[in-house]
Amino acid sequence: MPGLTYTATMNTEGIMKKSIIALSAILLASPVFAATTTDNTVAEAHKGADTAKEKLHQTQNEGKELKLKSEHAAEGKSHTTGSKITEGAQKGWHKTKEGTEKGWDKTKQGAEDLKNKATN
């Protein structure tokens, strides 16, 4: 019977060693998984914030365009060439601003990504 006890003890020690090694590997790898998950979460949050900001600005711009159109209509100028030019210029300006903001957001995001890669 002493041989059985010794064999059982050896199996238990082997299992314990393997468990400790596996646990150590998991603990060593967990910061990598956490960093990746955090980076992905932050990237998704930025995309959501950028989308929300774009929609807000589009809505604001549409409101400004409608206000200008209503002012022209109230003045009886809604079909004049001058009012159409003014409205078109305003619409063009808003598109330009939106494009510039998108470019700037991408630039900021790229700089932030580089900074994160450099510090990690």
Q: Is the distance from CB of 106 to CB of 112 less than 8 angstroms?
A: no
Cβ atoms of 91 and 68 within 8 Å: the answer is no
pTM over 0.85: no
pLDDT, mean over the chain: 79
In contact, 69 and 91? CB cutoff 8 Å: no
pLDDT in tens, 5-51: 444 455 666 676 777 777 777 777 666 555 566 677 777 777 778 78
pLDDT of 9: 52
Task: Report the C-alpha gap between 44 and 50 in whole angstroms.
Answer: 10
Q: Where are the domains of the chain?
A: 2-119
